[in-house]
Amino acid sequence: MNDSPRRRRAAATCLAVTATLLAAGCGGEASDSSAETSSLKGTPVKVMVWAPENTQGSAQPGVRLTAQAYEKWVNAHGGIKGGPLKVLTCNEKNDPDEAEKCAQQAVADKVVAVVGSYSLAGDRYMPILQKAGIPYLGGTGVSAAEFSNPLSFPVNGGTPVVFAAHGRQLVEQGCRKISGVRYDLAAAAIVSQFLTLGVTSAGGAAPKDLKVPVTATDLAPQVAAATKGSDCVSVILGTHSDLFVTSYMQSGVKTKLGSVVGNLTPQLAASTGGSSSPLEGAAITGYFPPVSDKAWKDFTEAAAGNKDIDTSNGANETTWVAFKVFTEAVSKLPAISAKALVQELNTTQGISTGGLTPPLTWKASTALPIKGLNRIHNTTATELTITDGKIEWAKPGSTFVDVRKVLTATTAG
């Protein structure tokens, strides 16, 4: 662990790769309000959400759709302090210039907050929001600025937390010789270090670190290397994890697979045999309970009938959680404003998300004491598995696992 200072300094740089590993122009127009809002006579509460759409790479249209589903749902249930929630949307197109325009539009429209969005360009939009005093609530942990800027209020612990927890889960499920397969990128190498930290903290041997060229399409060599002498393989290839699984199935090996959310997905399990898929029983580490958990009841009802909202998508789930936090926080304010919301979030004793996370707080005393990651306050993850082609709790009675001690132990060098 004597390299931990270097790991901590480099930690923030790993967050950009989360777009690859965890993901499955500015309109500036409010989404259509639901019919139910006609009876809401209070002052409208205006927020913005942005995400990349109609673009190559990490397009996340479900983030906007989830926000609009929440808008309709909350307005049908009385709105916010008797007024309608108005969600303004912006397509940041995976373009830092467009993300900056989205932030400028949020300032021009005087929104109370930017909620549950998705963008890699935090270094461009966070300074704009900070100058205007507008909080960035939720986000998906794909930008280093989300975990360092004082106006950012993440609801999960992003890459550091989920990979440290994943390493521990693999060891706890009996994995003794582990291989991690990831892209040959510097950021992915940092992610691999958090996986190693989790494994070794649980008493396991450091995983074998196998690199995949970003242009590779046939991963037979990587499958052979990963499964040789290993009893478990963590597949960290994001939406291209299917390439590994295809070569894995062709090889005929039976080594157990696992990953974090957004890699080995229910859709991939369904396309490879459902309950007979090689992904059956895979160790999956996430931020939240599985969709089947009763805590997601409102989200699943709000998304019902919309085939374009994947309720198991981590970015969509984070957006829903962020909106729940926003609603809870502003309901406590005598007068709703960005400034008052920031004060409430920074001093709250704990905001309930109805079981989707532990109670959330962003008090200075609960910050993760690691430079560049000090806006991480929620250091919990969930241990899940794929059962009958669906992601479920790894075992009955499972709950949140806190890896704060695992991460902060590195400060001792």
Q: Is residue 11 part of a domain?
A: no
Tell me the pLDDT tens digit for each residue of 215-249: 999 999 999 999 999 999 999 998 889 999 999 99
Q: At what angle do helices 338-347 and 314-330 cross, to 10 degrees?
A: 100
The CATH number of the domain where 239 resides is what?
A: 3.40.50.2300
Q: What is the pLDDT of residues 27-62, one digit of tens each?
A: 444 444 444 445 899 999 999 999 999 987 678 999
Shared domain for 258 and 324, answered yes or no, is: no
Mean pLDDT of 98-118: 97
74: in domain = yes
Q: Over the range 100-111, which residues count as b (16 or more CB within 10 Å of their CB) and which as e?
A: bbbbbbbbebeb
Q: Is residue 152 part of a domain?
A: yes
Q: Identify whether residues 44 and 107 lie together within a single domain.
A: yes
Structure tokens given for 80: 């916010």
Burial 63-85 (b: 16+ CB within 10 A, else e): bbbbbbbbbbbbbeeebbbebbb
**Could you tell me if 228 and 340 lie in one domain?**
no
Q: For residues 276 and 169, state if they share a domain.
A: yes
Q: Are residues 258 and 389 in the same domain?
A: yes
Residues 282, 403, single domain; the answer is: yes
Per residue in 279-333, pLDDT (tens digit) is 999 999 999 999 999 999 999 999 999 999 999 999 999 999 999 999 999 999 9
Is the residue at 13 inside a domain? no
Global pTM value: 0.90
Are residues 113 and 45 part of one domain? yes
Does residue 346 sit within a domain? yes
> Within this chain, do residues 256 and 193 fall inside the same structural domain, yes or no?
yes
344 and 397 together in one domain: no
325 lies in a domain? yes
Q: How many domains does the chain have?
A: 2
Is there a single domain that holds both residue 133 and residue 190?
A: no
Position 24 pLDDT exceeds 60 = no
Say whether both 150 and 169 belong to one domain.
no
Mean pLDDT (whole number) for 372-377: 95
Q: Are 26 and 100 in contact (CB under 8 A)?
A: no
For residue 210, report the phi and psi dihedrals to the nearest 5 degrees: -110, 130
Q: Which domain covers residue 77, as residue numbers?
A: 31-157+293-378
Query: Per the domain annotation, does 12 fall within a domain?
Result: no
